[in-house]
Structure 1
């Protein structure tokens, strides 16, 4: 415990500016939401903890799995679509404290968002330095849908697990990376992206080791034993969480290994390579007002693709590229609720690193002014969004 504290304390000191800045941005967003909601005679806290997916998670925490809603069109919305780690934590916190399940979800999300911000900082600092790490965290905080980070949703928890798993990969902690990837796989279906990052890093390390041995002409170059065993163990651990839940759902529904896909189909969720999303964007051009929204969607997708290409050109480490690529592909190419796509991209923080590097090179006063303006706009948009259609 003493050794852990010795390592953690300086790491936390290095991350302090990023975490304080993150907390300030999130506080601004919550205050703005509270004022906006009060003006509309709504409860900001209800919007954060007892609407949309948050309500489904608290029902799982309270009642377990098996609840479903049958819609007039025949669709079946089952709570089996929601992965279990967040409701497990909500139940745990509710058992050991006086908090309700909804309150527990809010607390878990707030704490997870701080650990996510710390993880984003740790990854970025390791690759590009401390200043870029602070900028990356602030950019993640001021995303237009950043308010979701403070909701009783699973995005913050997932991002925390993913970021620290990626950091463990970058620093050679294979068992930790595999364990965190497994937990990420119990949090959201996109946990597949973390698993893919672990496997890609493991395969690359294996191939690199073989190449080095062949180049040296000696089988004794580089210690193979413990490192190779840790890589294999990490790779074996990574998919266990997602696989366990998906197989359990298949057994429970009688649908076999693909039973979870049937559950998702009841929500009209699936993966069609982006065909449905392309049709949705195309339909926007049937009239002038909606055509502006169509142009905005095309520009947004183009920006995401450009950022990913920039990440590749700048030579980001393989685990970050694989992780961000899978998250982006699953978000953009899924036939799910189209309004959810910005929220589904929220965990893809490596896409922000090229912008963080640019911001880090600017003078402190200039970069602080840019972040402040964007933070204000993000806070206003988040309040407007949750008091309007909100995240489905």
Structure 2
């Protein structure tokens, strides 16, 4: 399939029809998770809706939507929690939703997350279908066995994203679903040569979360590769492949220019507001005890688990989990995923693992790294459908129970 044919495929009336099984399956998994949360919360005399919309980070987002920036909490130990740490796109949408109808800011945030999660699921399907080939071609060539060509890889990728242990966050008034939707569709625009759309969506992703720079980096990496291909006239394959820039290099350059504007613009605005210049946002994050230390704090956190036997089991689990993530990334490289996906998932994973932030949030920070799910999705697509359904259904039930337990805990996700 040529680049132009691939780009046109998403515009055909059949695009939504192809994604429909994935979207229906995604909705079913999320409904199961919400039902489990409702039952668990009722048993503990808590409100499931409050847990989803009015606790932890969701409260900070609604305060930004209602009051704007400038709110902060000073803790007894001297730490300062400022709402400048929270990027503005979700609060803007909450304010828009509340102004357009009878919804509260929290209600609007919940509605945005629900809609964005469906958009993210569709984007993940589109990326997987393109990367592994709707017609059996694509990044999966050369793996020794044929890649299913009926969209099953995309469907299983979406379902795996839905059944992640922290998948309940996709239904919370948090920014993960919104960010993943923007990131997925930006990456799809990169893969199909829509450079201006890719840059615009990357800029919006940068207004959603700090890790939006990972989307911008993916756009830049693919655009530079496309520019080199145009200049050299040579073909590239696998992880180094990128669509040739349509309309010469002008659209490609414009996409590159747009991509980092969201994140850079907000960080510079915070620096101006705090009077600290480019370091202002880092100071705000330091007030939350967030930073990037190359994983030193996380390594110490894991090592501390081995001081007692019950905690040592958790330490072993963390080590296995990190090893699994790294192995999945290696598999993505070996399967020759497009460069944009490798850059994006690599940066998201590195930032999540190497940040010195609240360690309980690391699984949530990894939620947008959906390209890591494409290799197991390919494995499920090669199995008999009945076996794959049993595997995913079992994981979905376990995920629903874990999400209900996790969200009813004392700490923020």
Would the TM-score normalized by the shorter structure come out above 0.5? yes
| SS of corresponding position for 1:42 | coil
Take 1:284 and 1:90, find their aligned partners in 2: how far apart are those partners?
40
Take 1:104 and 1:225, find their aligned partners in 2: how far apart are those partners?
38
Which residue of the partner structure matches residue 217 of structure 1?
none
Which residue of the partner structure matches residue 278 of structure 1?
299
Structure 1 residue runs of 4 or more that deviate by more than 4 Å after TM superposition: 222-225
Please point out which of 228, 247, 253 is paired with 1:232. Answer: 253
Deviation of 1:223 (Å)? 9.1
Please point out which of 51, 58, 72 is paired with 1:47. Answer: 51
Query: Are residues 1:96 and 2:100 paired?
Result: yes
Deviation of 1:347 (Å)? 0.1
Please point out which of 313, 318, 330 is paired with 1:309. Answer: 330
Take 2:245 and 2:91, find their aligned partners in 1: how far apart are those partners?
41
Are the equivalent residues in 1 in contact too, given 2:230–2:244 (CA < 8 A)?
Answer: no
In structure 2, relative to structure 1, the CA distance for the partners of 1:213 and 1:121 (3 Å cut) is closer
Take 1:305 and 1:210, find their aligned partners in 2: how far apart are those partners?
34
Which residue of the partner structure matches residue 195 of structure 1?
216
Are the equivalent residues in 2 in contact too, given 1:343–1:391 (CA < 8 A)?
Answer: no
Query: Are residues 1:70 and 2:91 paired?
Result: no
Query: Are residues 1:254 and 2:258 paired?
Result: no
| SS of corresponding position for 1:7 | coil
TM-score calculated relative to the size of structure 1:
0.95
Take 1:325 and 1:180, find their aligned partners in 2: how far apart are those partners?
19
Query: For 1:279-316, what per-residue CA distance to the aligned partner results, in whole angstroms no more than 9, with x for missing partners?
Result: 00001111111111100100000100000011011100
Are the equivalent residues in 1 in contact too, given 2:82–2:284 (CA < 8 A)?
Answer: yes
In structure 2, relative to structure 1, the CA distance for the partners of 1:44 and 1:229 (3 Å cut) is same
Alignment of 1:1-392 (within 5 A): 7=11, 9-128=13-132, 129=134, 130-212=151-233, 226-392=247-413
Take 1:294 and 1:173, find their aligned partners in 2: how far apart are those partners?
44
The count of residues paired between Structure 1 and Structure 2 equals 381
Deviation of 1:152 (Å)? 0.1
Deviation of 1:210 (Å)? 2.2
Are the equivalent residues in 1 in contact too, given 2:186–2:197 (CA < 8 A)?
Answer: yes
